[in-house]
Amino acid sequence: MKVIRVCKAQPAGGKVVPSIVIEIHLELPDSEATPKFSADAYNLESALHESLPGGTYDRLLGAMLQRRASSLIRSFEQVSHETA
């Protein structure tokens, strides 16, 4: 099992920053894939947003967008040509 340890955000304004554990090991049920993608993405993003330092969260977003940029560009080009 791969284990990744990262720093959590510093508390600000009396707010407690929770420590979190993310487990990725369940098999995706074929019949529920689309709703499960949405629920998992929302839960994962919420946990990371409330626990990561802002700089880490921002760089994570940048890295994820960079990894997916080519597919986003193709999608944008298709929409642009369809609406033109």
Confidence of residue 83 (pLDDT cuts 50, 70, 90): low
Mean pLDDT, rounded, for 59-76: 81
Asked if residues 56 and 6 have their Cβ atoms less than 8 Å apart, the reply is yes
What does DSSP assign to residue 30?
A: G
Dihedrals φ, ψ of 81, to 5°? -70, -35
Is residue 60 packed enough to be buried (19+ CB in 10 Å), middle (13-18) or exposed (0-12)? middle
Between CA 4 and CA 26 the distance in angstroms is 18
pLDDT digits (tens, 9 = 90+) for 15-53: 899 999 999 988 877 777 788 888 999 999 999 999 999
The pLDDT, as a whole number, for residue 35 is 83
Highest-confidence segment of 1-10, 31-40, 72-81: 1-10
Averaged pLDDT score across all residues of the chain = 86
